[in-house]
Amino acid sequence: MSRIKLWEIAHARAGDKGNAANISLIPYDEADYDLLAKTVTPDVVKEHFGPLVKGRITRYDLPNICAFNFVLEDSLAGGVTSSLALDTHGKSLSSALLEIEIDCPDRPCTV
Partner 1 sequence: MKNDTLVIGTGAGYAGDRVEPAIELAKHGNLDYIVFECLAERTIALAQLRKLHDPSAGYDSLLAYRLDKILPVCYQNKIRIITNMGAANPLAALEKTREIARRHGLDKMKIAAVVGDDVSGIIGEINPCLVETGQKLNQSLGSFVSANAYLGAESIIPALETGADVVITGRVADPSLFLAPMIYEFGWSLDNWTLLGKGTVIGHLMECAGQVTGGYYAEPGKKDVPGLGRLGFPIACIAGNGDGIITKLPEAGGVVNVSTCKEQLLYEIGDPAAYLTPDVTADFTKVGFKQIGPDKVLVTGGDGRRRPPTLKVSIGYHQGYIGEGEISYAGSGAVERGRLAAQIVKERLEAVGATYREIRYDLIGVDALHGAVADGKASGKPYEVRLRVAAKTDTREEAVLIGNEVETLYTNGPAGGGGARKHVSEIIAIVSAFIPRESIASRVVVKEVKEG
- For position 110 contacting partner 1 by CB under 8 A, the verdict is no
Site for partner 1 in 54-93 (CB under 8 A): 60, 62, 64-65, 67, 69, 71, 78-82, 84-87, 91-93
Got the DSSP string for the chain? -EEEEHHHHEEEEEEEETTEEEEEEEESSGGGHHHHHHH--HHHHHHHHGGG--S-EEEEEETTTTEEEEEESS-STT-TTT--SSSTT-TTHHHHHTT-EEEEPPPPP--
Binding mask 3-22 for partner 1 (x = CB under 8 A): --------xxx-xxxxxx-x
Interface ranges with partner 1 (CB under 8 A): 11-13, 15-20, 22, 24, 26, 28, 48-52, 60, 62, 64-65, 67, 69, 71, 78-82, 84-87, 91-93, 96, 99
